[in-house]
Amino acid sequence: MSLSATNFSMAKGSTRQVSYTVLPACATNKNVTFSSNNTSVATVNSSGVITARNSGTAIITVKTKNLGKTDTLVVNVN
C-alpha cells in the first residue's frame, strides 16, 4: 500500500480523492477500505473521496481487503 500524499490541508466544504497504489503491482486483489478517525472533521466514502466538514485534524486510513496492509494520511481542515 502506498499513498501519493501523507499530509495535506483542505478548506471546509471541499472534497479530495485519495490517491493510492496497492503493492506489489502484481497483487490480484486491489480492493481497499477507507476510514476516518474523526468524522466530525473529515469523512471518507467507499470510493476514497474525502469531505472536509469542520476545522481540525483527521487521520484517513486506507486498508487492503486481502492482507489488511494499511497506510494513513493526515488531513488538516481550516
pLDDT digit string, tens, across residues 4-15:
899 999 999 999
CA-nearest of 53, 19, 20 to 36 is 53
Rounded to two decimals, the pTM is 0.92
Q: According to the model, what pLDDT value does residue 49 have?
A: 98
Q: According to the model, what pLDDT value does residue 59 have?
A: 98
pLDDT digit string, tens, across residues 2-60:
898 999 999 999 999 999 999 888 888 999 999 999 999 999 999 999 999 999 999 99
